[in-house]
Amino acid sequence: MTKYFVFKNQPDSGQVNEPGSREEMASEIANVASRDRMPPNYYIAFPIEHPSTSLESLKELAKYSVEITDETAEIWVNEIQEMVRKAHMVDDAVSEASGGICQAMIEYNNSIQASNNLQGLTELSIKALDRMFEYFEVESSYEVPTKVEEIFSVEYFVHHHA
Amino acid sequence: MSKYLVIPRRADSPMTHAGGSTEETICEIAKNLLRFPGPSDYLMAIPADTKVATFAVLKDDALCSIEVTKKTLDTWRKDVTNIQDAINSFQSARDHAENVLDQALGDLDEAYENSTGFQGYTPSDDISVYGALEEMGINDLDYTFQRTLQEMYKFQVLRRQTA
């Protein structure tokens, strides 16, 4: 088992995770656990024993630690990556669905407001719609990150800056 | 308030209502509220207090009665089409949303089902656009709107259309 520290990669660092490496895997795992869908190489990972770790730690403290074994690496490649991709597709579908329905609701409400004699019709609640889609997003994106945290023993580090 | 009866126009009848007339608008209202499958000029509107109307009732020709005022006629001409279009757009958006989500959720369900470590959870069980809109009480916009129009025009069905 190897433990990695995952840092936010500085835009001007000139460093990226080596494609296909365990470091890249650790960064992707942290990205999934964060639930933020950041772009590739937003994070950079180093094994704890790596000499860069202490230096990086000085520049900016680690945000996550991730543990990877050969067995969990295989689960990541064979199952989780595809599941993450599909969960993101559900997120995208939720956004598309939400946008389309919200626009239609606004047009319906506008048509009632603009009428002379049908303003008694009940307008639709955009807030209720937002809540509904927020619930969908939580439901669709909860399981995978939670399981990923568990499998890879992801730890979060909270830093308080003065 | 003027009351009209609406009857089917005989196929060989040369009479049609003048464009923009009250009778023409009433036929449009009747087509909508009756969900009459043909065009509105297959219908004719006649004032309810005429002998022709009495005769139509006796012959069981009258499909429905509708009452209008200048204000409610204006409402039909200026507002109803916009709102109906908005309802149709909403229903299209809802159907599209359900389809898009169904497809994405179907793929995710399958991935969960085929996994070794993630079984036992079916994402689509918890996510349904129709179900959620039903809970919000907005799946029946069209029904509510039709009811409002029926009340506004004091719409009464007098004879069921045959298939």
A interface mutation test: which of B124, B138, B140, B143 has the most A CBs within 10 A? B138
Q: Can you tell me the distance from the alpha carbon of A92 to that of A71, in angstroms, rounded to the nearest whole number?
A: 31
Q: B54 with B33, same domain?
A: yes
CB nearest B104 (choices: A89, A117, A147):
A89
Do the chains contact at B118 and A147, CB–CB below 8 Å? yes
Average pLDDT over residues B44-71: 90
pLDDT for res A55? 56
pLDDT in tens, B32-49: 999 999 888 899 999 999
Window 23-52 of A, Cβ < 8 Å to B: none
Paired sense of beta strands B43-47 and A2-8, if any: unpaired
Structural domain range at position B85 = 79-148
Q: B96 with B144, same domain?
A: yes
B115 in any annotated domain: yes
Q: CB within 8 A of B88, min separation 6: which ones?
A: none
**Number of structural domains in chain B:** 2
B163 in any annotated domain: no
Q: Can you tell me the distance from the alpha carbon of A116 to that of A86, in angstroms, rounded to the nearest whole number?
A: 47
Q: B6 with B51, same domain?
A: yes
pLDDT for res B33? 94
Which pTM does this prediction carry? 0.75
pLDDT greater than 70 at residue B163:
no
Q: Which residue has the tokens 């069209």?
A: B142
Q: B136 with B97, same domain?
A: yes
Q: What share of chain A is helix, strand, coil (3-state, %, to 5)?
A: 55, 10, 30
B162 in any annotated domain: no
B interface mutation test: which of A69, A76, A81, A86 has the most B CBs within 10 A? A86
Give yes or no for B141 touching A (CB within 8 A).
Answer: yes
Note the Cα B107 to chain centre separation in Å: 36
The listed range with the strongest mean pLDDT (A48-57, A84-93, B15-24, B67-76) is B67-76
Do the chains contact at A89 and B107, CB–CB below 8 Å? yes
CA atoms within 13 A on the CB side of A47: 8
Per-residue confidence of chain A (162 residues) as pLDDT tens digits?
999 999 999 888 888 889 999 999 999 999 999 988 898 889 999 998 766 666 555 556 889 999 999 999 999 999 899 889 998 898 888 889 889 999 999 999 999 999 988 888 888 888 888 888 888 777 777 788 888 999 999 999 877 665
B130 in any annotated domain: yes
Q: Can you tell me the distance from the alpha carbon of A147 to that of A87, in angstroms, rounded to the nearest whole number?
A: 13
pLDDT for res A57? 59
The domain limits of chain A are: 2-76+148-156, 78-143
- C-alpha closest to that of A122 among A103, A101, A104, A108: A108
pLDDT for res A23? 94
The strand pairing partners of B3, in sequence order, are B67
Strand (E) or helix (H) holding A57: helix A51-59
B18 in any annotated domain: yes
Q: Which residue has the tokens 């994405």?
A: B104
B66 in any annotated domain: yes
Do the chains contact at B86 and A117, CB–CB below 8 Å? no
pLDDT in tens, B96-133: 988 898 898 899 888 888 888 777 778 788 777 777 77
A interface mutation test: which of B76, B81, B83 has the most A CBs within 10 A? B83
